Chain A
Amino acid sequence: MQSRRAGGTYRVNTRGYAMSSQNGDRHTSDIQPSKIQPEQLTAYALGQLHGEELAAVKAAIGEGGDDGRGSQDPTQRLTEGLGAAPGDLRSGTRRGQETCAEQVREVQALAAAVSRARNAEPLPATSVELRAAIESKLAQLEVVEKVEPAASQRRWRRPSVVEWVVMGGIGVLLIGLSVPAVQMSRNAARQMAASNSLKQLRADLEVEKALSSSGIKRQILDPASESDKRDAFASTSPSTTTGDDMTLMVTPRATREQDGIAWRMSVTGPRAAEQYEWSAPRVAAEQDEPHNLAINPKTTGSPEAAGQSAGYKVAVPATEAPPSASYSGLIPSGNVPANSSGAGYGGGAPLAGGGQAGGSPGGRAMNGSGAARGSGGYGYGGGERYPGELAGAMPGSGISGQRRSFESAPPGTANGNAADLAEIQKLNENLALSQRTAGGAEGGKFQNQLEREAAEHGVRVSQAEYELAFRMRAEQKGRLFADGEQVGSEQYEPIAENAFLSPLSDPLSTFSIDVDTASYANVRRFLNEGRLPPPSAVRIEELVNYFTYSYPQPSGREPFSVNMEAAECPWNAGHLLLRVGLKGKEVHRSERPPSNLTFLLDVSGSMADANKLPLLKTTLMMFVAELTENDRVSIVTYAGEAGLRLPPTRGHEKEKIMAAIDSLSAGGSTHGSAGIQLAYEQAAQYFLKDGTNRVILATDGDLNVGITSDDALVQLIKEKAASGTFLTVLGFGTGNLKDGKLEKLADNGNGVYAYIDGVREGRKVLVEQMSENLVTIAKDVKIQIEFNPAQIASYRLLGYENRVLAAADFNNDKKDAGEIGAGHTVTALYELVPVGAKQEAAAPHVGEPLKYQGTGARSQEPGAVGPHGAAVGSSALRGVPGAERFTEAAASGELLTLKLRFKEPDGVESRMIEFPLKERGGQFSAASKDLQFAAAVASFGMILRGSEHRGSGNLAAVAEIAGGAIDTEPNGYRAEFVDLVRKAQALGAR
C-alpha cells in the first residue's frame, strides 16, 4: 500500500491538495472524485478538510445528502484506501458507501480516544525556575532598552571580536596576495622598458652599420676618454690612414650625474675640421635606461667634407645603476692587419665578452680590461656578433677593425656593484628573449625609424640641442667645487696663482719645466663625468703642455730648441702674450736606447674598478707590444696580493710578460713589506748605464708601498732618481686620486706624472709618447727669463705655480728641476704688460701706495741693469726704483732674455743657453696657430680656476679660437679640447 501510495499519491496530491505549500493553499478545483485517497478520508474524519475538498469528499462518501447518483464514482474512489476489492465496491455502491462511513466513524472514534488519551495526561507542574528565568530575562531586556533604546532596535548586531579578527585576516590575506603581483608587474614593466631601450640602441647601431657600409668613415670612440672624439683616425698611427673605410663603433659612456642620468656617446669625424654630433634633443631626467635619444648629425667645418666622413654623437641616458655595462662595437672594415699592438679591446659581453682582443702575435684575446664590471653589459641579443669581427688591430694602420670595450666610470662608485651587474645581465637576457620573441619586424621598425631620423636630421644643426642637453644636465647636477675642496677622497694641492710682477722689483722669472700632463686628463675626466673640476685640479701648464705643438726640431748640439713668440693677448686688450716653447730632440721609439723598466702596480681592492686595474692592464698590454729585446720589464705589485709578479724579463718574451699582466687581479691581502723597495731592487738588478731605468708606479691613490713615512718615501725616490732610476707615476681612477702627492713623487723622481682616464690616454702616454716618457734627453731643466723694464711694465707667468724657483735657484745645480724627454714639447705662457699700456695694468699690484716709487714706473731712461745674463746679483736690483738703473741693453728694444739651464741625462753639471726676444708680434689672429691654441687652452684653464686674471676670457671665445686652430693638429686631441670646452659651457662655466 505504501508503495502504491508512494508513486501515485504525490502526483495526485499535488493536483489535489497543493502539497507544495505549507500554508495550506489548496488547489482543489479539479479533484477527481475517483481519486480520493485514504488519508483524505482520515483527514475528513478528523475534520481537517475545507472547502471544495470537503464537499467533494462528502459527496463521495454519501454524507450530506442523498446523493446516490454519483455512487458509481465513489466506489471507485474508495477502492484503494479501504482495501476492499474493486469488485466489491462496485457491485454495491451502497456497500462501499457504508464501508466508507463506517471507516469514517471508526477513525473518528479512534481519534477521539487518542486525543483524550493524550490530553488526559496530566500536565507537568509549572516550573518555578522557568518563570523566574523568564522574568529575569524580561527584566534584563528592559534594562538594556532603557540604556540603549536604539541598540535594541538595531537591525544587525555588532560583530564580535572573532568576526572582526576573521574579517581582518581575510583582508590581510588579500593584500598579501596582491603585493607580489604589483611588484612583479612593476618589474616586468621596467624590464620591458629596459629591453625596449636596448633594442632601440641596437637598432641604432644597425643604422650605423648600414651607414658605414655606405662608405662613410667611422671611428671608434673611447668614451672613457673624450679625446677619442677627435683622435679617431690618427691617434693610433703616425700616418693617418684616411683612405680606409673605417667603421666607427660608438659605445655609450656613462656620465654619472648626481641623479645618475646621462649616457653619452660621441663621435667625431676623422678630420679635425669635421665634427659631427648626433645629439639628443633633450635628456630627460626621468629616463633611467640607456637608449638612443637622437641621431642628429651636425657638421662643423667644411660642408664638402660632410659626405665623406661622418660620425655621430648619441646621447643616451644612464641608469641609476652605474652603467658598468660596457658596450662594444665590432667594426667590420677593410684592412686590418693583426698585429701585436694590443690596441684592440674586447667589448662587453653582449657584443663580445669583456676583455681585450688582440695585441699579441696571433691575435690572442686577453681578458680583464674594461668589462670586469660589466661583463653582462647591455647588449644586443646575447653574443651576437657583427660580421667581420676581428681579434685585433694594429694601431699603426688605423683603427679599423678594432673593438673596444668602454667602461663607464661614474664618479663615486669606487667599487663595482654586483647588483648592478646582475641587473645588467638580466636586462641583457630580457633583451635577448624579447628579440627572440618580438621577431624581426619590430627591430626593423626601430631601424626604419632611426634611419628616418638620421635622414631627417642629416643636415640640421643640433648644436643648440646638444648644448641644451648638456645644460640641462648641468642644471640637474652642476656642482662646482670650491677651491681646495676635496672630491671624494681625492686630494689636490691648492694653487696660489702667480700675480703680475714688475721687472723693476722682480725682473727674473725662474721656474722649472714640467711636462706632466695629468691635470689635463684629470680635468677631462671630470668634464666627461659631467662635473666641473675643482680649481685645485687645474694646472694650466699641464693643460697647455698636453698638446703637441709644431716647434722645430733642435738643430745643433743642444738637445732641444727654444722658440718664443709674442702676440697680442686675446683676453686683455693691450697686453701681450708670450709663448716660450722648448722642443726636445726627437727619438723615434724604435731608436730609443735600451730600457730597464719596473712596474710597481697597486693591486688593492679599490683597483678592481673598470677604470683602474683593467684599464691599467689594457695600457700595459699596449705598452708591452712595443717592447723589443733591448728592454727589460719586471712587475711588482703592492697593496694587495703583493710581491714580485714578473722578474726582469726581456722585452721580446711578450707571452710571458703578457701572461703576468693577465694574472693581475685586484684585492687580496696586503703584504706590507713588498712594495717600492722590491721594485727598486728589481730595477737595480739590470741597471742600464746607458739606458733608461724607470720605476713606473701605477696607482689610484693608495700609496702604501711599504714605506709609511711620506718623507722617507720622497727621500728614497730622490736617492734613486739621483742614481739614475727615475720614477714615473701613472694615476688611475676616480674618487681616490691623491693628485698632489703623486705629482710630488713624480717630480722628486725626475719622472712624468700622467693621469690615465681611458684607453686612449693610456696609449698616448705609454705608446705614442713612449720615447718621450722613457727617454730623457735633459734633466733639471730650468728657465729664467729676465724682462726688460724698459719694454715690459709687468709680467705674469701662467701656471707653473708649483714650479716657480727663486732666482738664485737657477744657477744652483743642486736644485732639482724637471726633465725633458725625447720629443717633448714644453710650453710656458706669460702675459706681459708692455710699457705704455694702461697705468692700472702696469702698476705693480700693491695694495697701498709705495714710499719709494710711484704706482706706475714708466720712465724709459736707461737703467743699471747689467748686461743680459747678469742674473746673479738680482738682489742688487731689488727694490731699487727708477729708470736710472736701466742699462744700454734695456734700450735695445728687446723684450726679454730667456735663459735655459739643463743637465745631460747622466750629467751633474748644467749648461746654459740663452735667447733674446725682440719681436712683440702683432695681432693675435695673425699669430701662429700654436700660440692661438695655447692661449685658448690657458684661458680655459683660467676660467676653470675662476682666476682673477682671466680678463675678458670666456668659454665661447675659447671654443672659437681653439676651433680655428685645430686643423694643424694631426691627432685630434685639439678637437677633443674644443669638445671639452663645450662641455664646460654646458656645465655652467662661462
Chain B
Amino acid sequence: MSDGPEDAASQRRRWVLEALGEYEGRLMRYALRLLGDADLARDAVQHAFLKLCDDKVVATLRVPSATKGTTGNGTPSVPTTNSRLAAWLYTVCRNRATDLLRTHARERQAEVDQGDHVTGRDADPACRAEKADLHELLRRLIHRLPLSQREAIDLWAEGFTYAEIARIVERHEGHVRVLVHRGLKALREQPQVRELLEVNPAGPVGNRIASGSTSR
C-alpha cells in the first residue's frame, strides 16, 4: 500500500465492513443449516468475521480483481464479488461450526423450519404456497441426505464451483462431484420429485421449474 497507515487501516475497515454486509446473511443461513441453532450459528459467523479483521487475512484475500465465481447454466443466483473471500469465510465458518458441534454435540433439529417465521418475498400467496411446497419438500429431502452430500449441495447452491466446494469441505474435487451426483440422484429418486419431474421437462411445469420464474 502506498497509503499511510491510517489509510490502510481505514481501507481495511471499509473492506471488512463491506464483506460483513455482503456475506453476513448467507453465512448465517449456512451456519444455521449446519448447526441448527441460532446462537451457535451467530458464534460461528462472528468468529469468521473476527478472523477476517486480521491483517494477514486481509492481505491474502483482498485482491483488486474480484474473480467471479463461475457459474454454469442453471445456478446460483447470488453473485460473488470475491470468491476467495467467500470461500475463506465459509471455510472458517464451517470449521468453527464443526468445533462447536463437537463441543456441544447438540442434536440437530429435525427440521430446519426457520423459514417458517421469516417473511417471504412473494406476494402471490398461491404461487408462494405452491413454491413453498416444492421448496419445503426439497428442503426436507435435502435435510435427510447424509451430511457430506448435503454440504456439497448446499455449497453449490450458495454458488461455489466444485473447486471451491472442494476447498471448503476439504475433499477432493472428484469426491465433491460424486457427492453432488449422489445427492441429486437420491433426490431424483424420491417419488415426489419424480412426480414433479415426470412432467415433461419441456412442459410447462418443467419449464416453470427450470426457469424458476415466479410468475405463472
Contacts and interface: CB of A to CB of B under 8 A. Distances in A.
Nearest to A155: B56
Interface string A118-140: 11111111110111011101100
B27 to A, nearest CB: 9
A48 B178 contact: no
Interface in B184-201: 184-185, 187-188, 193, 196-197, 201
B50 A134 contact: yes
A47 B73 contact: yes
Given A24-B163, A119-B78, A120-B135, A48 B49 contact: no
A17 B174 contact: yes
B163 A39 contact: no
Interface stretch (A5-13, A246-254, A455-463): A5-13
Nearest to A149: B5
B157 A130 contact: no
Contact of B55 (A20, A102, A130, A141): A141
Interface of B: 5, 9, 12-13, 16-17, 20-21, 24-26, 28-29, 32, 38, 41-42, 45-46, 49-50, 53, 55, 70-78, 114-115, 118-121, 131, 134-136, 138-139, 142, 153-154, 156-158, 161-163, 166-167, 172-175, 177-178, 180-182, 184-185, 187-188, 193, 196-197, 201, 206, 209-210, 212
Contacts of A106: 188, 197, 201
Contacts of A113: 134-135, 138, 196, 209, 212
Given A134-B17, A137-B53, A109 B162 contact: no
A660 interface: no
Given A39-B180, A115-B75, A110 B188 contact: yes
Contacts of B115: 120-122
A43 B28 contact: no
Contacts of B78: 119
A129 B42 CA distance: 10
A145 B13 CA distance: 13
Contacts of A20: 172
Interface in A20-50: 20-24, 38-43, 46-48
A47 B71 contact: yes
Nearest to A108: B74
A111 interface: yes
Classify the secondary structure of B's interface with A.
Answer: helix
A47 B72 contact: yes
Nearest to A146: B5
A947 interface: no
A112 interface: yes
Contact of B25 (A13, A120, A123): A123
A109 B46 CA distance: 35
A453 interface: no
B189 to A, nearest CB: 11
A108 B187 CA distance: 12
B210 A108 contact: yes
Contact of A46 (B25, B75, B173, B206): B75
A144 to B, nearest CB: 10
13 contacts: A21-B173, A24-B166, A111-B184, A112-B75, A113-B196, A115-B156, A117-B136, A117-B157, A122-B118, A124-B25, A129-B42, A134-B50, A138-B16
Contact of A114 (B20, B73, B187): B187
A969 to B, nearest CB: 102
A19 interface: yes
Contacts of B154: 118
Nearest to B19: A134
Given A110-B188, A116-B135, 20 more contacts: A22-B163, A24-B173, A40-B177, A42-B181, A43-B162, A47-B74, A48-B72, A106-B197, A107-B188, A110-B187, A118-B154, A121-B118, A122-B121, A124-B25, A124-B41, A126-B21, A126-B24, A134-B46, A135-B17, A142-B13
B74 A112 contact: yes
Nearest to A113: B209
Contact of A22 (B55, B173, B193): B173
Nearest to A83: B185
A672 B50 CA distance: 93
A15 to B, nearest CB: 11
